[in-house]
């Protein structure tokens, strides 16, 4: 079968025999697919392979040798096509650009990326195409027992000078790829904890130094519910008027006893009040729930109390409920706590049952909001 090339403004997809590779506007590899297998390449040159099996989808990081072999194989196909007569000029130029990316040159993205960013360990799935700006690093709380995303860094709000250097680095690193990002996501774990005046200055600086198109779909961030009380409704409205649009809130569970065990600050009622305030201030809200948290011991309380709290939340079109299957963290002491509390993890079939039950119940409770899966295992920026 002859190769197929689909050239769009920002990407080229090229391949044959059900094996396809997609490249960005600079010619860097973005995706590779073949039957039963998909590979994505992140901005930091990490490559994650996902495979489908009867027991579900699994993800793994590829080794350096595997990445190199795949890139060379893809380049081989491109090289072959370049030797064929009659390839249109524009496509020919694009293929040459792709072929010029050797595995060694692509690997340089790793160091370039980490000279600019602290690891971006998690993003909401609908924000993968946003431009991440780390106005802060880490989480000001950093003690939830199920969360190890920011244990590698102390909480730090950037100074004006640090933010300027960060934005300059972002412009240099992304180059012409910046226009392919849509929206801006403020890192890291709870950027709304930044004092309002300082955050307003940051938003202004970002708008001065980044392309206006990035801000058309608004600015989003993660936020915990217990620090939100430091912001008044009026402050939240001012930030909303300055461009903040969507807040992703880790609600996790409506069961207070489970929140306590997981070291999630505040009661579920207090979290409901914080989320309601965000809605009153005009934000799009994404509520994240940990499916399977607390194992068998908490299963009923977790589901019932979560549903009874979320029934009181005024969600609308544009809001999201993310159901995130619980993944046991390695470095937080969760395992020891769960063991001493006698918790038994939900087997996969039970976890899927809980997921499906919550999905259906929440979708009929909030028909205008979107209820969907949030797998932290597939994250790649
Ligand atoms: S879940 Fe949120 S609040 Fe808790 S440690 Fe992680 S980032 Fe911080």
How far apart CA 343 and CA 188 sit, in angstroms, is: 30
DSSP string over 106-117: HHHHHHHHHTT-
Q: Which domain holds residue 103?
A: 4-107
pTM greater than the 0.75 cutoff: yes
Question: What tokens were used for 352?
Answer: 């899927």
Report in angstroms the alpha-carbon separations of 206 from 200, 203, 214, 215, 348.
Answer: 10, 5, 10, 9, 43
Helical axes 64-82 vs 103-114, angle rounded to 10°:
130
CATH of the domain at 373: 3.20.20.70
93 and 189 inside one domain: no
Same domain flag for 243 and 138: yes
Domain boundary among 107, 132, 149: 107
Question: Does the Cβ of 147 fall within 6 Å of ligand 1?
Answer: yes
pLDDT in tens, 159-200: 999 999 999 999 999 999 999 999 999 999 999 999 999 999
Query: What is the whole-number distance in angstroms between the Cα of residue 285 and the centre of ligand 1?
Result: 17
211 and 235 in a single domain? The answer is yes
Q: 137 and 62 share a domain?
A: no
> Do 17 and 96 belong together in one domain?
yes
Pocket test residue of 122, 138, 144 for ligand 1, highest count of atoms within 8 A of CB: 144
**Number of domains within the chain:** 2
Residue 346 DSSP label: P
End-to-end CA distance of the chain: 33
Indicate whether 224 and 371 sit together in one domain.
Answer: yes
The answer on pLDDT for 5 being more than 90 is no
Is 48 in the same domain as 124? no
CA of 193 to the centre of ligand 1 (A): 12
| pLDDT (tens digit per residue) in 307-321 | 999 999 999 999 999
The answer on 171 and 67 residing in a single domain is no
Q: Are residues 229 and 334 in the same domain?
A: yes
| Closest-CA residue to 245 (of 212, 278, 202) | 278
How many alpha carbons fall within 13 Å on the CB side of residue 202? 26
Q: Whose CA is nearest to atom 7 of ligand 1?
A: 189
Residues 189 and 311 grouped into a single domain: yes
Cα within 13 Å of Cα(166), Cβ side: 21
DSSP 8-class letter at 381: -
CA of 250 to the centre of ligand 1 (A): 8
SS3 call for 286: strand
- Look at ligand 1, atom 3, and give the residue with the nearest C-alpha: 224
Q: Mark whether 85 and 130 lie in a shared domain.
A: no
Kindly give the number of the ligand 1 atom that is closest to the alpha carbon of 142.
Answer: 5
Choose the final residue of a domain: 74, 107, 140: 107
DSSP state of 344: -
Asked if residue 127 lies in contact with residue 181, where contact means CB atoms within 8 angstroms, the answer is: no
The last residue of a domain, from among 107, 127, 161: 107
Residues 282 and 207 in one domain: yes
Q: Quick check: CB of 244 below 6 Å from ligand 1?
A: no
Record the tokens describing residue 164, joined without a space.
Answer: 């300027």
| pLDDT tens digits, 254-310 | 999 999 999 999 999 999 999 999 999 999 999 999 999 999 999 999 999 999 999
Q: Is the pLDDT of residue 357 over 80?
A: yes
Asked whether the beta carbons of 288 and 322 are under 8 A apart, the reply is yes
- By mean pLDDT, which of 151-155, 225-229, 328-332 is the weakest? 328-332
Q: pLDDT category, 248, cuts 50, 70, 90?
A: very high
DSSP state of 3: -
């Amino acid at each position: 079968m002859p190769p197929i090339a689909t050239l769009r403004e920002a990407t080229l997809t090229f391949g044959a025999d059900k094996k396809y590779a997609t490249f960005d506007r600079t010619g860097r590899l973005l995706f590779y697919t073949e039957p039963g297998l998909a590979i994505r390449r992140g901005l930091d040159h990490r490559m994650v392979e996902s495979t489908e099996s009867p027991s579900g989808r699994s993800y793994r990081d590829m080794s350096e040798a595997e990445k190199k072999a795949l890139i060379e194989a893809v380049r081989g196909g491109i090289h072959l096509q370049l030797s064929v007569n009659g390839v249109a000029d524009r496509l020919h130029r694009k293929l040459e650009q792709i072929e010029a990316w050797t595995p060694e040159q692509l690997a340089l993205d790793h160091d370039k990326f980490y000279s600019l960013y602290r690891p971006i360990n998690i993003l909401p799935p609908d924000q993968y195409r946003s431009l991440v700006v780390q106005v802060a690093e880490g989480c000001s709380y950093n003690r939830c027992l199920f969360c190890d995303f920011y244990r590698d860094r102390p909480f730090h709000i950037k100074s004006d000078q640090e933010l300027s250097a960060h934005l300059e680095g972002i412009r240099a690193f992304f180059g012409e790829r910046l226009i392919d990002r849509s929206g801006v996501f403020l890192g890291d774990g709870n950027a709304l904890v930044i004092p309002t005046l300082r955050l307003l200055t940051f938003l202004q600086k970002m708008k001065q130094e980044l392309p206006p198109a990035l801000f058309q779909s608004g600015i989003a961030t993660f936020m915990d519910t217990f620090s939100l009380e430091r912001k008044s409704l009026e402050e939240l409205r001012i930030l909303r008027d300055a461009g903040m649009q969507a807040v992703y809130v880790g609600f996790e569970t409506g069961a207070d006893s489970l929140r306590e065990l997981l070291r999630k600050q505040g009661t579920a009622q207090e979290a409901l009040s914080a989320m309601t305030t965000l809605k009153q201030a005009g934000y799009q809200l994404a509520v994240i729930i940990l499916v399977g948290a607390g194992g068998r011991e908490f299963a009923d309380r977790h589901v019932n109390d979560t549903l009874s709290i979320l029934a009181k939340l005024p969600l609308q079109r544009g809001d999201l409920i993310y159901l995130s299957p619980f993944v046991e963290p390695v470095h937080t002491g969760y395992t020891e706590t769960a063991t001493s509390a006698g918790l038994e993890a939900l087997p996969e079939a039970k976890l899927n049952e809980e997921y499906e039950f919550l999905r259906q119940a929440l979708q009929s409770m909030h028909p205008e909001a979107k209820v969907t899966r949030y797998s932290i295992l597939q994250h790649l920026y």
